[in-house]
Amino acid sequence: MSVRYLTAKLAQQIDEQLMSAAGAFSLDQLMELAGLACAQTLAKVYSKEKYPRVLVCCGPGNQGGDGLVAARHLGMFGYQPTIWMPKPGSKDIYKRLKTQCDNMKIQTLAPTEETHSLRDALASSDVILDAIFGFSFKPPVRAPFDAALPLLSASGLPIVSVDIPSGWDVEEGNAEGVGLNPDVLISLTAPKEGVRQFTRRHFLGGRFVPKLMEEQFALNLPEYPGFDQIVELPQAKESGPQKL
Q: How far apart are the first and last CA of the chain?
A: 30
User: Do the Cβ atoms of 35 and 65 come closer than 8 Å?
Assistant: yes
Region 38-61 average pLDDT: 97
Q: Which residues are annotated as a binding site?
A: 62-66, 130, 134-140, 163, 166
Cβ atoms of 57 and 130 within 8 Å: the answer is yes
- Domain positions in the chain are 8-222
pLDDT mean across residues, the chain: 92
Residue 115 — very low, low, confident or very high, per pLDDT cuts 50/70/90? low
Contacts of 35 (CB under 8 A, 6+ apart): 65, 66, 67, 68, 69, 70, 72, 73
Instruction: For residue range 5-35, list pLDDT tens digits in order.
Output: 999 999 999 999 999 998 999 999 999 999 9
Question: How many other β-carbons are positioned within 10 Å of the β-carbon of residue 192?
Answer: 26
pLDDT of the residue at 114 = 55
Enter the CATH code of domain 8-222. Answer: 3.40.50.10260
Binding residues for K(+): 63, 130, 166
Instruction: Specify the pLDDT at position 22.
Output: 86
pLDDT band for 137, please (50, 70, 90 cuts).
confident
Taking a C-beta distance cutoff of 8 angstroms, is the pair 166, 137 a contact?
yes
Residue 111 has pLDDT above 70, yes or no: no
pLDDT of residue 36: 98
Q: What is the pLDDT of residues 180-238, one digit of tens each?
A: 999 999 999 999 999 998 999 999 999 999 999 999 999 999 999 999 999 999 987 76
Residue type, 174: N
Residue ranges for the known binding site for (6S)-NADPHX are 62-66, 134-140, 163
The tens digit of pLDDT for each residue in 62-109 reads: 999 999 999 999 999 999 999 999 888 889 999 999 999 999 999 999
Q: Check residues 85 and 140 and name the one with the higher pLDDT.
A: 85
| 239 band by pLDDT with thresholds 50, 70 and 90 | low
